Structure 1
Amino acid sequence: MDTVIVLFNRDLRVHDHPALAAACAGARRVVPLFVVDPALTGSPRGGFLVECLADLRDSLRRRGGDLAVRRGDPVTETVRLARELSARAVYVSADVSAFARARERRLAEECARHRMEFRTFPGVTIVPPGALRPSGGGDHYRIFTPYLRSWSRTERRRVLPAPRWVPVPENLRSGWPEGTWRERARGEGHPLLTGGETVARKRMSQWLRWCVGDYAEGQDDLAGNRTSKLSPYLRFGCLSPLELESLAEDGGEFVRQLCWRDFHHQVTFAFPRINRDDYRSRGLRWHDDEHAAQAWKAGMTGVPIVDAGMRQLRAEGWMHNRARLITSSFLVKWLKVDWRVGAAHFWELLLDGDVANNYGNWQWVAGTGNDTRPNRVINPIRQAVRFDPDGEYVRRYLPELEAVPGRAVHRPWRLPSAVHGYPGPLVPLD
């Protein structure tokens, strides 16, 4: 084949990239392309994205290639560039959200109209989302444990090396304003994490060498903060989840978390309205309580462990996984506020927020999703005492409670009156 466009989306890497590998193996010229949605660059993820793109461009250039960048509608811009370069095919990594699948359908239709080949490839998950089906019928697994058993037995595709050479057309116009993107990356980057495959691979290597062995023991330690923080790199595709799993074969609980990620993706593939509609309708009645919702978002509920998590989210675009469970459960189970309110807030601020995991986890907590115990209620005080026994995590994010000693910080109804500006609990805790 003469020229193939590889449209990057949530797969910003060169290692184990099936679409890129196939294009480089079968075409004389390859055009790596990213189309910037102007709405996306204004989000908290925008600066991280720019860093990812800058790093991807560097990786491609070291292999003789480049990254073409365009702005606007991905379908329109992809087809326009394909026609400019007389490309014969467009390759993409398949995704699961309603938006991504609509984009894929439109691309397929436009490619057919212009007599170009359109192909989708795996790479966003370990096991393709539609590959596993329960033996008793149905188009996807609704319960995690049977999915885990089937997932664990499924043969994996081969992890692909990065291409040695990416032969771009000589007349390719990059469309990348020199200096502008790197300046934006420096100005809007994440306060804790730097975007890009290079940083991601270094972090992955260090995590697998030094930390994964005690992940099961330390994953819930709020103050210790012993999670991998690889999820943003998986969300942007700077890391291949398949390669990560292959290198963490003895990771136990860590690999189980990668399976949870695949699980939510296969649910979203089967139920693309997961960000809008109840996966399982329970007939729940939600409180339209704007005051409670705003207090929760601001980290001013009067429950220190909840408020610490919410303030970590606002300050860092990140939240410890145990804190995510505590804060989300508090909103839906104690304040009785619709899960969509909380999920939208997480989606707006979380660096690693993707549709499948964000909304799948929120529905699990709310009891409208895949939890087999939909009436599960998590007590935030018990969680705080168990996973932040000395109150270190709370005091880290709630400076007004800095002088409250030990686990006394977890008893909001007994906080000294000298603590100014911190509210009493929004709801009784028993």
Structure 2
Amino acid sequence: MATSVVLFTRDLRLRDNSPLRAAQDTADAVVPLFVQDDAICAAGYAVPNRRAFLADCLADLDRQLRERGARLIVRTGDVVEQVCRVAHEADAHEVHMSADVSAYADRREKKLSSALAAAGRRLRVHDRMVTAVAPGEITPAGKDHMAVFTPYFRRWEKARQRPSHGAPARITAAKGVATEKLPSRRRIEGVSPGVPAGGETAGRKQFAGWRQKGMDAYADHHDDLAGDCTSRLSPHLHFGTLSPVELVARARERGGTGAEAFVRQLAWRDFHHQVLAARPQAARVDYRTHGDRWRSAREARDQIEAWKQGRTGYPVIDAAMRQLRHEGWMHNRGRLLAAGFLTKTLYVDWRIGARHFLDLLVDGDMANNQMNWQWVAGTGTDTRPNRILNPLVQAKKYDPAGDYVRRWVPELAAIEGRAVHEPWKLRGPHGKNHAAPDYPEPIVDLAAASERFRRARGK
């Protein structure tokens, strides 16, 4: 009896799962496998918030598999060793998995292919699972990727979208393969209190509700910090509990400006993935260097800590950073402002901020996190690398009534209207701020900071 192993990585779903579908088409029995990767733990990327969400995803995946006659096999250790061991135990002739874009994923895939071949087995890698359009599908003549989003998007819109397929009704599982216990969110310490539930079931429910009630308003209100009109689907896209191909198709079915704006954001996600696939070193090295002499963690220690704790004295920045700490998620406009403040106002190395985000974000991955940080720092693909986002101007535009700030910075809850964005102006005759006595003064002067950045960039 022919048997195949399906290695789940960032495709923790049964619907629109090409590796699973191909394995069922070419084998009599299937071993659904997930490996808790020691290398990811050793590198510090298995942080509590993502581990909690992952535990939910695996529990939901196992439940759905059991409903169809199978179960999820869980192992811990080196991915190559564990996959080869399971393939041997099941006498599997093939292993199916999804492609990914990081340098680590590429190394892992090559090692696994070689190890399986040495044992007389085959690795089959399936593309277009992590993204809607595969990273190498859109390339200009003589180049390996596109570096500017707008022309990329024009071609992305015309790219042929494969049809998504449903979940299998029945899965024939191979016998005699042992599994470890599933991880549990309850056993994970240090999880942010607002981390949402993970899993395909939760993701599909969330998308269905937002598509019905929130998508139409997305174009006009996705930057509204207090309105919170974004889909909040990024954790599900990161772990692959939702298919980006299906999301594009279902958004286009609904139509309208909101759906178009949402699809454009999915294209931005694909854009960053194709950049990192072609330039994996951009996860840690400037994509386009300006010779910056960033302030180090030692030089700017106190200001970096104030930024992390949401104590910069600039309310919209502090609100965003506190939302991150509480939810393991941050509004997209908040991410732009918080990253811009660290890199261009404090002139701190973007890698310090990117690492902090990865320590907390449920949706944190190399492509979106690193390339967005580089974009904001002006070392990435932004065609205006020296732009500076003034947090006061941005706050009054995207949180005009101050509701977002009051939600996340309770020390300022008593201040009405947009005055909440500049609480230092409420000092009394003796210089005391009676409206917000526990809130800090600004840690940096914006005008002086802008001048420092322009000097550093030679502008």
Instruction: Name the TM tier (shorter chain).
Output: over 0.9
AA aligned to 1:126 is A
Q: 1:220 to 1:182 in 2, by over 3 A?
A: closer
Larger mean CA deviation between 283-292 and 67-76 belongs to 283-292
Q: Does 1:133 align with 2:154?
A: no
AA aligned to 1:225 is D
Among 382, 401, 418, the alignment partner of 2:412 is: 401
Task: Please state how far the C-alpha of 1:384 moved relative to its aligned partner.
Answer: 0.3
Q: Does 1:273 align with 2:281?
A: yes
Q: Does 1:171 align with 2:176?
A: yes
Task: Please state how far the C-alpha of 1:192 moved relative to its aligned partner.
Answer: 4.6
Q: Which residue of 1 aligns with 2:454?
A: none
SS at match of 1:32: strand
Aligned length, in residue pairs: 427
AA aligned to 2:131 is T
Contact 1:15/1:161 (<8 A) preserved: yes
Unaligned runs of 5+ in 1: none
Task: Please state how far the C-alpha of 1:23 moved relative to its aligned partner.
Answer: 0.3
Contact 1:65/1:167 (<8 A) preserved: yes
Q: Which residue of 2 aligns with 1:151?
A: 156
Counterpart-to-counterpart distance in 2, 1:158 and 1:254: 19
Contact 1:48/1:189 (<8 A) preserved: no
Contact 2:49/2:195 (<8 A) preserved: no
AA aligned to 2:130 is V
Identity of aligned residues (%): 50
TM-score (structure 2 length as normaliser): 0.90
Contact 2:282/2:371 (<8 A) preserved: yes
Task: Please state how far the C-alpha of 1:186 moved relative to its aligned partner.
Answer: 11
Larger mean CA deviation between 25-34 and 279-288 belongs to 279-288
Counterpart-to-counterpart distance in 2, 1:242 and 1:314: 31
Q: 1:256 to 1:82 in 2, by over 3 A?
A: same
Equivalences for residues 266-415 of structure 1 within 5 A: 266-288=274-296, 289-415=300-426
Q: Which residue of 1 aligns with 2:95?
A: 90
Task: Please state how far the C-alpha of 1:150 moved relative to its aligned partner.
Answer: 0.8
Q: Which residue of 2 aligns with 1:46?
A: 51
Q: Does 1:254 align with 2:257?
A: no
Larger mean CA deviation between 34-43 and 352-361 belongs to 34-43
Contact 2:48/2:189 (<8 A) preserved: no
Unaligned runs of 5+ in 2: 428-432, 448-459
Q: Which residue of 2 aligns with 1:426?
A: 443
Q: Which residue of 2 aligns with 1:263?
A: 271
Moved over 6 A (4+): none
SS at match of 2:440: coil
Counterpart-to-counterpart distance in 2, 1:354 and 1:88: 32
Contact 1:66/1:174 (<8 A) preserved: no
Q: Which residue of 2 aligns with 1:102?
A: 107
Q: Does 1:221 align with 2:227?
A: no
Contact 1:395/1:402 (<8 A) preserved: yes
Contact 1:50/1:185 (<8 A) preserved: no
SS at match of 2:372: helix
AA aligned to 2:119 is H
AA aligned to 1:386 is K
Pairwise CA RMSD = 1.6
The one-character-per-residue Cα deviations of 1:131-182 (angstroms, maximum 9, x if unpaired) are 11014x31100000010011111111121221122111122323226xx636
Contact 2:405/2:420 (<8 A) preserved: yes
Q: 1:348 to 1:183 in 2, by over 3 A?
A: closer
Contact 2:47/2:359 (<8 A) preserved: no
Counterpart-to-counterpart distance in 2, 1:397 and 1:48: 23
Counterpart-to-counterpart distance in 2, 1:397 and 1:182: 25
Q: 1:153 to 1:125 in 2, by over 3 A?
A: same
Q: 1:189 to 1:407 in 2, by over 3 A?
A: closer
TM-score (structure 1 length as normaliser): 0.96
SS at match of 1:263: helix
Equivalences for residues 54-65 of structure 1 within 5 A: 54-65=59-70
Contact 2:339/2:376 (<8 A) preserved: yes
SS at match of 2:270: helix
Q: 1:189 to 1:278 in 2, by over 3 A?
A: closer
AA aligned to 1:363 is Q
SS at match of 1:232: helix
Counterpart-to-counterpart distance in 1, 2:419 and 2:244: 41
Task: Please state how far the C-alpha of 1:29 moved relative to its aligned partner.
Answer: 0.9
Larger mean CA deviation between 278-287 and 12-21 belongs to 278-287
Q: Which residue of 1 aligns with 2:452?
A: none
Task: Please state how far the C-alpha of 1:16 moved relative to its aligned partner.
Answer: 0.2
SS at match of 2:184: helix
Task: Please state how far the C-alpha of 1:188 moved relative to its aligned partner.
Answer: 5.1
Counterpart-to-counterpart distance in 1, 2:327 and 2:250: 28
Contact 2:48/2:188 (<8 A) preserved: no
Q: Which residue of 2 aligns with 1:33?
A: 33
Counterpart-to-counterpart distance in 1, 2:98 and 2:28: 20
Q: 1:198 to 1:271 in 2, by over 3 A?
A: same
Counterpart-to-counterpart distance in 1, 2:185 and 2:49: 16
The one-character-per-residue Cα deviations of 1:178-211 (angstroms, maximum 9, x if unpaired) are xx63643799586251100001011111111121
Counterpart-to-counterpart distance in 2, 1:30 and 1:41: 28
